[in-house]
Structure 1
């Protein structure tokens, strides 16, 4: 999966914080306790992989996310394109890659805010290990993922292979902006949620 490490740069302007001077209202960031333990990615029950079927909606009940998904491609620079920022309750998935529920690594990305205020993944950094993410698929089924860890990375040291690399089981990455915030450059990094398929429901 050849996605450049500048994947979520366009997600990260922090236009709302910049306009309102609302640094005190910055989105939640994951604590060290929500990070991955050594070898954690290899532990825990994993459900059998599902067949290819594009995703249509992502739901994360604990942070009240219920959003449609659009297909995303790559920009000429090799970074992941992003949903239109004016549509705050819209996320996207990398449609040239794995569909959520298939064997491999599926990628979902969305804005943390826009010029008007919080957007779809504003509270992503508040997620905890063991939480649930559900993805409704075009075949009528639902892929249910369990969160393994919630990490925050500085943009200058974004771990491409860890986030985008191939997986032997069905895994999901959900990405938005995070880390420090600068009034001149916006957010300084990304929040990444790592999850794996633990159940599925037929349509």
Structure 2
């Protein structure tokens, strides 16, 4: 198998908003037992209660504003994607002076990297996770990413013991020389996740793949270790 390459130009997360709208969200899936739902970011399409209904309604605790953090900062420690058999530890990745993100170790088939210039999983914003599609010795952790079904769950355990669950909205493939930095890395008003690997054909002239595969996902729920 060819050595996987995944150096991508990074657009700062405090830069301009995405130049194109994010993909539509998939239908909600059942939450795991004991999970806390993420407050809806979209206004309700239903009409408001009548005056008599409002008078009879019991007072309720106000839901958090979409602008408030869902969770605080905590680095990720474990990634699980049951639909494609992923169960892998994390390493932290940093951007080079050139703006490219250093990928995970090329000789580890079961390792994913969290880009530490992005928010931690569960926080408002865009969290970025990168993994290899293959190595010199065989398939790697994200070999099945391009086939991940819409609506699949992505579970990330954090250092604080909280497990966050994202739901996959869509999978897209982009030519590396036309990679949409703002769309993939751009700011978000809610909690988003990007899973990134290589795809397309392997170009032996440059020893790299021609495309990047990106899974777009949104935060569905979280639960404490307790």
Q: TM-score range by the shorter chain?
A: 0.7 to 0.9
Counterpart of 1:193 in structure 2 is: 215
1:31-180 to structure 2, matched below 5 A, reads 40-41=23-24, 47-48=38-39, 49-180=70-201
CA contact (8 A) 2:7 2:103 kept: no
Distance 1:39 1:157, change over 3 A: closer
Q: CA deviation at 1:189?
A: 1.1
What is the TM-score when the length of structure 2 is the normalising length?
A: 0.71
Q: Structure 2, unaligned stretches of length 5 or more?
A: 9-20, 29-36, 40-69
Provide the TM-score with structure 1 as the length reference: 0.78
Residue ranges of structure 1 left out of the alignment (5+ in a row): 1-6, 11-37
Segments of 4+ in structure 1 off by > 4 A? 42-46
The two structures, once aligned, show a CA RMSD in angstroms of: 1.9
Distance 1:83 1:158 in 2: 20
After TM superposition, give the deviation of residue 41 of structure 1 in Å: 3.5
Report how far residue 182 of structure 1 moved.
2.2
Deviation, 1:44, is 5.8
Larger gyration radius, structure 1 or structure 2: 2
> For each residue in 1:57-76, what CA deviation from the matched residue of structure 2 results, as whole angstroms up to 9, or x when unmatched?
11000110000011110122
Residue 8 of structure 1 contacts residue 79 of structure 1 at CA under 8 Å; is this kept in 2? no
Query: For the residues of structure 1 that align with 2:133 and 2:155, how far apart are their CA atoms?
Result: 19
CA contact (8 A) 1:89 1:119 kept: yes
User: Equivalent of 2:7, from 2, 6, 9?
Assistant: 9
The 2-side partners of 1:194 and 1:184 are apart by 30
Q: CA separation in 2, counterparts of 1:40 and 1:152? A: 13
